Amino acid sequence: MEPDEEAVVSLVDDFLRCHDKQPIVTVANTIFPSSLDRGDGIDRLRERYLPIYQRRMCRQGEWGRYFERMVNWKDREGGHRDQIAENIRMLKDARDGRFYENRYEIIISDPVRDMRKATNRQCLSMIELKPERDGPLHMLVVYRNHYYVQKTLGNLLGLGRLLGFIARESGFEVGTLTVNSTAARIETDGWSKADVTALIDDCSARLLRQAA
């Protein structure tokens, strides 16, 4: 990121920490654990991630399992499928053989596990990957619900890093990221709307100072 973007991330992160909310890095890591990426592919990344995830599950429950669902989805035979690995394989095939533009999905929402829950359901529902022939790889994301103050910036960073990883592993340039939140709220849990407005003003002022 550019210095002005880093400054905005720090401002929002300080705001969240001061109000006892999850820091941005925690939110981003639920989507893509970038600190575990060593540049050696999805299989090695998954092998490093799953033991850490299982230990965290024992302490904190099942919150934040987006990446786990991407790489460890339980199939009908009782085994597990890595959706990211499958999409990387298909995208590589598209570059080298017959090109398809509409077959690359990562599903997060699971009716078997989620439908009957009144709360703590997965907010991120699904991810679509859209490659261009001889062009970049785009990502479109659907959220069932979105907490804009607490989650949005961390989610955008996590999704951007996931897009960058898949593009790198499949041989594409990074394209656009589009997020569609079918329900969203500017929550006031622990702060007021005036506090949120002040935070936005602080971020805007920091961007203007950097530009000057």
Domain extents in the chain: 20-189
Pairing of strands 146-147, 184-185: parallel
Q: How far apart are CA 83 and CA 100, in angstroms?
A: 17
Least confident range from 47-51, 61-65, 120-124, 129-133: namely 61-65
Segment 35-68, tens digit of pLDDT: 999 999 999 999 999 998 887 765 555 556 899 9
Q: How would residue 113 be classed by pLDDT, with cut points 50, 70 and 90?
A: confident
Above 60 in pLDDT, residue 13? yes
**SS3 annotation, 80-93:** EECHHHHHHHHHHH
Mean pLDDT for 170-189 is: 93
Q: How would residue 211 be classed by pLDDT, with cut points 50, 70 and 90?
A: low
CATH number, domain 20-189: 3.30.572.10
> Do 163 and 137 form a contact (C-beta atoms < 8 A)?
yes
Residue 96 has a pLDDT of 84
195: helix, strand or coil: helix
Q: How far apart are CA 148 and CA 85, in angstroms?
A: 30
Residue 60 has a pLDDT of 58
What's the predicted TM-score (pTM) here? 0.91
Residue 195 has a pLDDT of 94
Q: How far apart are CA 203 and CA 125, in angstroms?
A: 29
What is the percent of the chain with per-residue pLDDT over 70, rounded to a whole number? 93
Mean pLDDT for 155-177 is: 97
Q: How far apart are CA 137 and CA 141, in angstroms?
A: 13
